Structure 1
Amino acid sequence: MPLLHLRGVTRQFATIDGPALQILKGVDLDVAAHDRVSIVGRSGSGKSTLLNILGLIDQPTTGIVELDGEPVALMGGRMRDRLRGATVGFVFQQFNLIEGLTAAENVAVPLHYGAGRRYWQRHRLASEMLERVGLSHRIDTKATNLSGGEQQRVAIARALVRSPRLILADEPTGALDIETGGRIMDLLDEVAADAGAALVTITHDVAVAARASRMLRIVDGRLEQTSAVAA
């Protein structure tokens, strides 16, 4: 049984004075544990819309989405929120850090919704994850005082701190230089492997896309298997 199962997924958005805007048009996708999937496509092709559906942030207009064999459409909002928090780690293109908090406090935010050891050891776990992304010297620095690349690494640490089973990364190396970006992708691969997690990456970076075991291209709202990467 795949971790994620999508069949016939569509997503459309209403417009003010015209027909609905059709973004996704019958997407089929299975993602298993340990999968490494990259999705490429032109700007506006629906990549981020698909990522939001995979991460239970949004729901399709029509079609089936199952997580661990459970139909997402039958879940209430609170159940989806709990499942997303426990299962999915997001690396957003827009870092979404809380400006008034330090790097460690930002990374620890997902741990506030947990219980037991992870809750009580949240500062240590956050600090350890920041060390893994090369920011041990910035643990107590406010988010507003971090560079763009440092903020990206904090966002990645926050996504990984709960050892999610599904990691969704939207342009994870977009604000990083080539060397740092390579290290970050190594880290994402390492953490995913340690946790037995699936890693789905949306990227325009050919080198990042080529690291995946499966490369998919979104064209006209549909997914296609591809052996060559073109943005």
Structure 2
Amino acid sequence: MPLLSLQEVTRSVELPDFSRLEILKGIDLDVEIGDHLSIVGRSGSGKSTLLNLLGLIDNPTTGSITFDGEPLEKLSGSKRDRKRGRDVGFIFQQFNLLAGRTALENVMTPLLYASGKQFWRRRTLASEMLERVGLGDRMASMPDKLSGGEQQRVAIARALVRSPRLILADEPTGALDVDTGKTVMALLDDVAEQSGAALITITHDPNVAALARRHYRLDNGVLHPIDVRRMLATSLPEAAL
């Protein structure tokens, strides 16, 4: 059984003239436990809308989404929020770290909403995760004292500290130089694989997308499987995506 399954999912919005804008059209996607897939697409292709659906934030207009076999439309708002907080980790391009909070305090933040052992062991769990991403000596540092790559590592640690089953990385290397971006993606893939989490990378960069095992393109609201590695090997321009 897939961890996450989208079946004939659409998403549309009503415009001021009462016409409807179709953003996503008939999306079918199964994500298995431990999977790593990438979704590429130009600006305006619907990537952010799809991210919100994958992250259990929004409902589809039509179609169905199931998480661990449970249909999302049957979940109350509070139960969905708890499931998202427990099972989904988000990593964003701009890091979104809390200013005025140390690296350790930033990573501890999701655990403030946990219960039981996770809550009471929040400092230990956050420290262990920072050690895991190579920042054991930077726990007391403020975000503005960290490099871009270090800030992204803190963001990764924060996303993973509750051991989510699904990790959504939205343009995770967009604010980094090429070499740092490769290092961060290798780290993210390694940590996700060790924890058994499914990883979905949403990006416009085919080089980042190629690091996944399965590749998709979102074009005008339609999701297609593609082979990014083959495109790169034949030197097709990024515009081909």
Q: Distance in 1 between matches of 2:152 and 2:73?
A: 32
Give the corresponding residue for 1:214.
Answer: 214
Q: Give, as a single letter, the amino acid of the residue that structure 2 aligns with 1:50.
A: L
Give the corresponding residue for 1:62.
Answer: 62
Deviation, structure 1 residue 23: 0.9
Q: Which string of whole-angstrom CA distances, capped at 9 and with x for unpartnered residues, describes residues 61-100 of structure 1?
A: 1110000111001100000011111111111223222223
Percent of residue pairs identical: 62
Contact 2:171 2:201 (C-alpha < 8 Å) held by counterparts: yes
Matches within 5 A, 1:14-29: 14-17=14-17, 19-29=19-29
Q: Give, as a single letter, the amino acid of the residue that structure 2 aligns with 1:118.
A: Q
Q: Which string of whole-angstrom CA distances, capped at 9 and with x for unpartnered residues, describes residues 80-134 of structure 1?
A: 0111111111112232222232211111111112223322221222122223333
- How high is the TM-score relative to the length of structure 1? 0.92
Q: Distance in 1 between matches of 2:172 and 2:7?
A: 27
| 1:83 partnered with 2:69 | no
What residue ranges of structure 2 are gaps of 5+ in the alignment? 232-237
Q: Give, as a single letter, the amino acid of the residue that structure 2 aligns with 1:63.
A: G
Give the corresponding residue for 1:99.
Answer: 99
> Please, which moves more after superposition, 103-112 or 89-98?
89-98
What residue ranges of structure 1 are gaps of 5+ in the alignment? none
Q: Distance in 1 between matches of 2:187 and 2:148?
A: 18
> Please, which moves more after superposition, 55-64 or 171-180?
171-180
Give the corresponding residue for 1:138.
Answer: 138
Deviation, structure 1 residue 147: 4.2
Contact 1:133 1:184 (C-alpha < 8 Å) held by counterparts: no
Matches within 5 A, 1:109-148: 109-148=109-148
Matches within 5 A, 1:40-55: 40-55=40-55
Q: Give, as a single letter, the amino acid of the residue that structure 1 aligns with 2:5.
A: H
Q: Distance in 2 between matches of 1:19 and 1:195?
A: 45
Deviation, structure 1 residue 22: 1.5
- How high is the TM-score relative to the length of structure 2? 0.88
Local SS of the residue matching 1:27: strand
Q: Which string of whole-angstrom CA distances, capped at 9 and with x for unpartnered residues, describes residues 19-39 of structure 1?
A: 222111111101111111100
